[in-house]
Structure 1
Amino acid sequence: MAQQTTLAGLRARLRLPLIAAPMFLVSGIELVSTACANGVIGAFPTVNCRTPDELDGWLREIEARLARVAEATGEAVAPVCPNLIVHRSNARLQDDLAVLLRHRPELVITSVGSPAPVIRPLHDAGAIVLADVASIRHAERAVEAGADGLVLLTAGAGGQTGWLNPFAFVRAVRSFFAGPIVLAGGISDGVALRAAEVLGCDLAYMGTKFIATRESVADDRYKAMLVDSSADDILLTSAFTGLPTSMLKPSVVAAGLDPEALPARGAIEIGSDIDIGAREARPKRWRDVWSAGHATSGVTDIPTVAALIARTVDEYRRAGQPSGAAR
């Protein structure tokens, strides 16, 4: 397949078959550009930028930084990968798409809906389109729509998550799709990344561990909470988004909410305050109540992005040796 050849060309520029996952209100210029400069695909949601003009500015700044790195090292850097929210509720979709078409990114991830409306213009601009899917039926539809690759959102991913076991999901999709597969959910180190390849994946997301890096724009309290938490502290709930979402239970408690008695599905709406009893302002999802995935158990410190990637490279290499490195 043509897209496999193209992906193989990109893979030659990577130190790891890894994407620093696009994370709402977490992935910024520093995290993305540093990841790319260190051989990992740097992704970010376009809605992290307040306006399409700001998105244009972000891309120009990231491109300039990476050009300087490439010139200084004489080596190609990893690609930057914008993430388009294609759901009809995203009023900026067409404007953000227009910005991407001007910048001609090598990779684009689509989320929360069918990629069909954006595939042709992105292909015309030379982009590989990876569609974020959470079920086998969604995967089938994305392939029918012309997606080049699939991001399989599996149980344990941070934020809005899938429910399928990653082993079952990947093998089911591999039965009808030979193109690029990206595993999203539970990748906490290089050993897990190596296992994802054995399972049949071309790439994987790492999200939660990148939240707790110095370059992340996440709140410092958020980063510290990740260090202090484990997978046992991840709460799966539909209260904040209307969809199953992995949230940090300690942040729910800190917000004055009872994790065992959360409101009905989607009752805590974005951009609104919740009154419980007295008229006190209630925290908002994402900004005050934080998400994380099962990989939280692997977060033990707050390193630089470069240090995290170097550590993961070492784990990945050792895991590929005959004796393995899973202990």
Structure 2
Amino acid sequence: MLDTSELARSLTLPVVAAPMFLISKPRLVIAQARAGIIGAFPTLNARSVASLREWLAEIGESVAGAPYAANLIVHRSNTRWEEDLAAVVDHRVPVVITSLGLRSEVVGAVHSYGGIVLHDVINNRFARKAADTGYDGLIAVAAGAGGHAGTLSPFALLSEIRQWFDGLLLLSGAIAHGRSVLAAQAAGADLAYVGSAFIATDEADAADAYKEQIATSAAADIVYTNLFTGVHGNYLRGSIVAAGLDPDNLPVSDPSAMNFGSGGNTEAKAWRDIWGSGQGIGPIDAVVPVATLVDRLRREYAEARQRLAELTAHGLLPVQ
């Protein structure tokens, strides 16, 4: 099985790019892998299982052995997930991420060829369930994350999970600066999970207006609602306004109405018209190539480490 510590050491920056519905496709994943981080995409972004198999072949050939990840949405409304899993197994995808449900059969299938399986969790209870199911790592989705975010502080969520879990732990939630990557590690995570920052890149398959709105928005422009998919998530205020809705007076949706990928709860389709984003987009001020963004994060990460070293040297960061 792929060693999780070896996986972390293979990266030039301790970052996994979050798989983003409709946005993360082979071009973006390949650019992320070539930049030295783990690129990821939801399998449902491929319009068919046949297309998914073509994508996996393209990515596998292009990344030259660098790790990448496929995200399986295992919610009951996704009737394709088992076929997608078979494609993932056939192509021996190194890292598999599951969301919106636990499936022990995914763990067994991915372990059969030596891959590792991670799972999104928004609280300690779900984390324990995933660990008990045999998952190799957990993605703590804290308040402020893009997509279907939780409500817990990253400090609280990481602390509770680390009290009992010593496996691979990732933090998702408002991370778009190198010092935030380092802060995630200081708080107990092994890797940072970064999504929204990659929307504003040349390789992302997002509308130009979406990219520009990421680059010109801040935390105050994010709205947390369950209207669009039945599950609470974070969205750009500007896209809600453009859809003819009042972001300050949105109705509440029935969680049982969730139908992932259809956006069937309103005439505006999530995530086509209503654009997801986390709260951490303040540092994003331009649309750039993936390599440029990763270089900036890497530089900021190094500067943050140097600052801590200087604080320690001057006695301002006591060590025992």
After superposition, the C-alpha distances for 1:188-221 in whole angstroms (9 at most, x for unaligned) are 1110000111111111111010011000001110
Any idea what SS the aligned residue of 1:253 has? helix
CA distance 1:323–1:78, shift in 2 (3 Å): farther
**Residue 56 of structure 1 corresponds to which residue in structure 2?**
53
Q: Contact 1:18 / 1:205 at 8 angstroms: preserved in 2?
A: yes
1:145-160 to 2 correspondences below 5 Å? 145-160=133-148
Answer yes or no: is the 8 Å Cα contact 1:268–1:285 preserved in 2.
no
Structure 2 counterpart of 1:129: 117
Tell me the CA shift for residue 89 of structure 1. 1.5
Q: Return the alpha-carbon distance in structure 1 between the equivalents of residues 98 and 35 of structure 2.
A: 24
Look up the match of 2:154: 166
Residue in structure 2 matching 1:44, options 22, 29, 41: 41
Runs of 4+ in structure 1 deviating by more than 2 angstroms, as ranges, are 266-274
Distance 2:272 2:138 in 1: 28
Partner residue of 1:323 out of 299, 310, 313: 310
| Paired residues of 1:105 and 1:126 also in contact (CA < 8 A) | no
Residue 147 of structure 1 aligns to a residue whose secondary structure is: coil
Contact 2:148 2:234 in 1 (8 A): yes
TM-score by length of 2: 0.92
1:273 positional shift: 8.2
Residue-by-residue CA offset, 1:82-137 (whole Å, 9 max, x unaligned)? 01111222101110000011011111111101132311111112111111111111
Which residue of the partner structure matches residue 290 of structure 2? Answer: 305
Matches within 5 A, 1:78-117: 78-117=66-105
Unpaired segments ≥5 residues, structure 1 = 68-76, 275-281
2:243 alignment counterpart: 255
* 2:23 is the counterpart of 1:26: yes
- The Cα offsets for residues 21-68 of structure 1, whole Å up to 9 and x where unpaired, read as 10001101111001001100001100011111111100111112123x
Q: Is the 8 A contact 1:239 1:268 kept in 2?
A: no
The match for 1:293 is 278
> How much does 1:225 deviate?
0.8
Structure 1 268/254 Cα, relative in aligned 2: closer, same or farther at 3 Å? farther
Structure 1 residue 9 and structure 2 residue 1: aligned? no
Deviation at 1:271, TM superposition (A): 4.8
Contact 1:41 1:79 in 2 (8 A): yes
Matched, 1:314 2:314: no
Alignment of 1:237-248 (within 5 A): 237-248=225-236
TM-score norm. by structure 1 comes to 0.90
What does the per-residue CA deviation read over 1:112-165, in whole Å, with 9 as the maximum and x for residues that have no partner? 011323111111121111111111110000010001100011100011111111
**Deviation (angstroms), 1:169:** 0.4
1:220 to 208, 233, 236: 208
User: Which whole-Å CA distance do the structure 1 matches of 2:278 and 2:205 have between them?
Assistant: 18
Q: 8 Å contact 1:101–1:125 — kept in the other structure? A: yes
| Partner SS state of residue 88, structure 1 | coil
Secondary structure in 1 matching 2:282 = helix
Mapped partners of 2:158, 2:265: distance in 1: 39
Counterpart secondary structure, 1:78: coil
Are residue 178 (structure 1) and residue 175 (structure 2) matched?
no
Instruction: Provide structure 2 residue ranges, at least 5 long, that are not aligned to the other structure.
Output: 312-320
* C-alpha distance in structure 1 between counterparts of 2:268 and 2:77, whole Å: 22
Does structure 2 retain, via aligned residues, the 8 Å contact 1:283–1:289? yes
- Structure 2: how far apart are the matches of 1:150 and 1:288? 30
CA distance in 2, matches of 1:237, 1:257: 12
Distance 2:193 2:142 in 1: 11
Identity of aligned residues (%): 44
1:258–1:56 Cα change, 3 Å: same
Aligned residues: 305
Code of the aligned partner of 1:43? A
